[in-house]
């Protein structure tokens, strides 16, 4: 079986920045073991696979795999898949609907905007966090004690010093051993013009020591910073080595994420399936 593959840098307007995602369009679903093997071979944070939704609930069924596991929600690979459909595969569309493990998601082009160099909008669920007691060993693992520790689907450690976030070298074994949650977000107030907050995200349990830019983390970051800053439209800067900007807008229990993307690679996969 020969499959097309695209690699797209998401949440950036420049190549070699943002978060690279592989995107594989399908006509039918191969075995899950094949999907996982392709994702492992790609060795990116996520590989997105989509196929026509035969149930008619959405336009496509969308799934995401890290090199080691299938994940329930992924922002940057959704942006990459949406960018591919809206700009290359079906350029007359302005919106694409996906059925996913996390429920219905959409990627759309804002009204009046045209072309590939446009920030697309992602309709995602808001996932507010609940504050927890400080876990044992947190100061040693993260270099200092956070001002607060939270959990939604991901843990989140809040710091007051942006410089600490930028320089952080966490104990990944400690993060991997956390008893619940899907990795750890660290965040602090923004220290740049036009940026409301900084973040980084570590997911060693999923084979990703540090994710370059994480849309799903902003489903928790956006509600937290919106309440703290008293505003519903924000800009986050994920300050990994590659880095990327994520626009966030809260509306009725949902988060609209926005970001740009750039096509890096096209090719073919040859697999037995």
- Enter the tokens of residue 222: 């956006």
pLDDT score of 114 more than 90: no
pTM here is 0.96
Q: How far is CA 53 from CA 37, 57, 257, in A?
A: 23, 7, 23
CA angle 65, 68, 72 (to 5 degrees): 40
Alpha helices (H) in the chain, listed in sequence order: 32-42, 76-84, 138-142, 162-167, 172-176, 218-229
Tens of pLDDT, residue by residue over 9-31, are 999 999 999 999 999 999 999 99
Rounded Cα distance between 114 and 85, Å, is 14
Rounded Cα distance between 99 and 189, Å, is 34
Active site residue 46: yes
* 79 neighbors 215 (Cβ within 8 angstroms): yes
Domain that holds residue 211: 130-252
With cut-offs at 50, 70 and 90, classify the pLDDT of residue 56: confident
Hey, is 187 helix, strand or coil?
strand
Q: Which helix (H) or strand (E) holds 44?
A: none
Looking at the structure, tell me whether residues 53 and 111 fall in a common domain. yes
Looking at the structure, tell me whether residues 81 and 143 fall in a common domain. no
With cut-offs at 50, 70 and 90, classify the pLDDT of residue 238: very high
Residue 200 sits in a domain whose CATH number is 3.10.310.10
Residue 243, sorted as left (phi over 0), alpha (psi -120 to 50) or beta, turns out to be: left
User: Pick the catalytic residue: 27, 41, 46, 268?
Assistant: 46
Looking at the structure, tell me whether residues 141 and 230 fall in a common domain. yes
Tens of pLDDT, residue by residue over 120-152, are 999 999 999 999 999 999 999 999 999 999 999
With CA atoms as reference, report the closest residue to 73 among 81, 82, 64, 61: 64
Looking at the structure, tell me whether residues 101 and 157 fall in a common domain. no
- Enter the tokens of residue 38: 């392709």
* 261 neighbors 23 (Cβ within 8 angstroms): no
* 123 neighbors 150 (Cβ within 8 angstroms): no
Looking at the structure, tell me whether residues 99 and 27 fall in a common domain. yes
Looking at the structure, tell me whether residues 107 and 220 fall in a common domain. no
Looking at the structure, tell me whether residues 44 and 117 fall in a common domain. yes
* Number of domains present in the structure of the chain: 2
Looking at the structure, tell me whether residues 118 and 135 fall in a common domain. no
Hey, is 139 helix, strand or coil?
helix
Rounded Cα distance between 54 and 172, Å, is 41
Looking at the structure, tell me whether residues 96 and 154 fall in a common domain. no
Looking at the structure, tell me whether residues 230 and 150 fall in a common domain. yes
What average pLDDT does the segment 242-271 reach? 97
Looking at the structure, tell me whether residues 137 and 186 fall in a common domain. yes
Strand partners, 158: 148, 187
Looking at the structure, tell me whether residues 239 and 170 fall in a common domain. yes
């Amino acid at each position: 079986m020969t499959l097309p593959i695209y690699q797209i840098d998401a949440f950036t307007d420049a190549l070699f920045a943002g978060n690279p995602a592989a995107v594989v369009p399908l006509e039918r679903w191969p075995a899950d073991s094949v999907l996982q093997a392709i994702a492992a071979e790609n060795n990116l944070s996520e590989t997105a696979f989509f196929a026509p939704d035969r149930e008619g609930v959405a336009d496509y069924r969308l799934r995401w795999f890290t090199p080691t596991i299938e994940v329930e929600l992924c922002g940057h690979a959704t942006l990459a898949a949406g960018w591919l459909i809206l700009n290359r595969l079906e350029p007359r569309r302005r919106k694409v609907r996906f059925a996913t493990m996390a429920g219905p998601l959409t990627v759309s082009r804002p009204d009046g905007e045209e072309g590939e160099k446009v920030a697309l909008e992602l309709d995602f669920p808001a996932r507010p966090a609940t504050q927890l007691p400080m876990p044992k060993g947190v100061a040693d693992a993260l270099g200092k004690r956070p001002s607060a520790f939270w959990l939604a689907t991901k843990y989140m450690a809040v710091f007051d010093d942006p410089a600490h976030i930028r320089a952080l070298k966490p104990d990944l074994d400690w993060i991997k051993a956390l008893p619940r949650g899907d990795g750890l977000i660290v965040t602090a107030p923004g220290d740049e013009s036009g940026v409301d907050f900084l973040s980084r995200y570590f997911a060693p349990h999923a084979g990703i020591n540090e994710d370059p830019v994480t849309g799903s983390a902003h489903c928790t970051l956006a509600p937290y910073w919106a309440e703290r800053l008293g505003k519903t439209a924000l800009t986050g800067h994920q300050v990994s080595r590659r880095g990327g900007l994520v626009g966030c807008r809260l509306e009725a229990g949902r988060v609209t994420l926005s970001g740009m993307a750039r096509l890096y690679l096209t090719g073919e996969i040859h697999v037995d399936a």
